Amino acid sequence: MRAGAPPLPPLLFRRPAGSSRALFANFVRRELTTRYIGSVTGLVWALIQPLALLAVYHFVFTTIFRATGFAGASFLAFVAVALWPWLAAQEAIQRATVSLAGYAG
């Protein structure tokens, strides 16, 4: 912002919250139905897979490598806090790349 320039009004950048929320809910609903509509364990697998991966990591790192948590905290909590955002970001980037390639043209 330049010196002496008047500040922009805060309402200039606001969007109606209701329409964005409804659009986001529609996107989530569509994604879940198209992704898991034909599978028997689809939605359950989406919940079990990260938990199973967390259990495997916990077993390997605490039993085989004898790792401990940071500053006396539980290693399971340490891995969960690091692993789940990483998995979410990885899945989002992977889906965005496939989406861009699929709708190119």
* Tokens (6 digits) for 62: 């605490």
Question: Cα separation of 75 and 71, whole Å?
Answer: 10
Average pLDDT of the residues in 30-44? 81
pLDDT at 8 over 90: no
Look over the chain and give the mean of its residue pLDDT values, rounded to a whole number: 82
Rounded to two decimals, what is the model's pTM? 0.62
| pLDDT band per the 50, 70, 90 thresholds, residue 1 | low
Mean pLDDT score, 61-83: 86
Q: Looking up tokens 């401990």, which residue turns up? A: 68
